[in-house]
């Protein structure tokens, strides 16, 4: 249980690190959503590569994509043409993070609470 708790803690902190290295060292700028791109999510479930739908954002003539976009492409098409605020940092690639998007923090909180539960169960044995 201790090992599972440590793994859950790492799983909670790693996405926060990936986001806030861009948010804290990057710049806040306005971009326009130009479309939706289908990309590989970087992992597989049941042997199939998971794909994600990321928004394509144009900032001062350069094309970027959001770290996490929309769940359904048909619903995300309604946002095409709208301007949004994003954080970007050129040293970390072409990925930008939306301002006021707390999905990564919620996911990290869930992993952290499961890590606390694992530690609690280990202590009360």
Q: Which residue has the tokens 């144009």?
A: 58
Q: Which domains does the chain have, with CATH numbers?
A: 2-123 (2.40.50)
Instruction: Report how far residue 93's alpha carbon sits from residue 118's, in angstroms, rounded to the nearest whole number.
Output: 36
Q: What is the pLDDT of residues 88-100, one digit of tens each?
A: 998 888 889 988 8
**Burial bucket for residue 31 (CB in 10 Å: 0-12, 13-18, 19+):** buried
CA-based nearest residue to 42, from 30, 33, 51, 54: 51
pLDDT of residue 106: 93
Q: Cβ of 66: how many Cβ atoms within 10 Å?
A: 23
Q: Kindly state the tokens that stand for 66.
A: 């959001």
Rounded mean pLDDT, 100-105: 88
Instruction: Give, rounded to a whole angstrom, the gap between the first and last alpha carbons of the chain.
Output: 11
Given this model, what pLDDT does residue 43 score? 66
pLDDT digits (tens, 9 = 90+) for 33-87: 998 888 776 666 667 777 778 889 999 989 998 887 777 777 888 888 999 999 9
CA 95 from centroid of its chain's CA atoms? 10
Name the residue with tokens 């169960």: 121
pTM over 0.85? The answer is no
> Cα(16)–Cα(114) distance, rounded to whole angstroms?
16
């Amino acid at each position: 249980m201790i090992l599972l708790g440590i793994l859950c803690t790492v799983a909670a902190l790693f996405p926060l690190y990936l986001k806030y290295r861009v948010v804290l060292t990057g710049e806040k700028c306005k971009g326009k959503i130009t479309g939706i791109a289908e990309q590989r999510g970087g992992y597989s479930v049941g042997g199939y590569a998971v794909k994600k739908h990321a928004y394509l954002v144009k900032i001062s003539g350069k094309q970027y994509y959001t770290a996490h976009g929309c769940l359904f492409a048909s619903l995300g098409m309604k946002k095409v043409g709208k301007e949004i605020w994003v954080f970007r940092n050129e040293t970390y690639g072409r990925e930008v993070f939306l301002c006021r998007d707390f999905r990564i923090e919620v996911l990290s909180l869930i992993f952290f609470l499961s890590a606390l539960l694992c530690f609690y169960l280990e202590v009360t044995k």
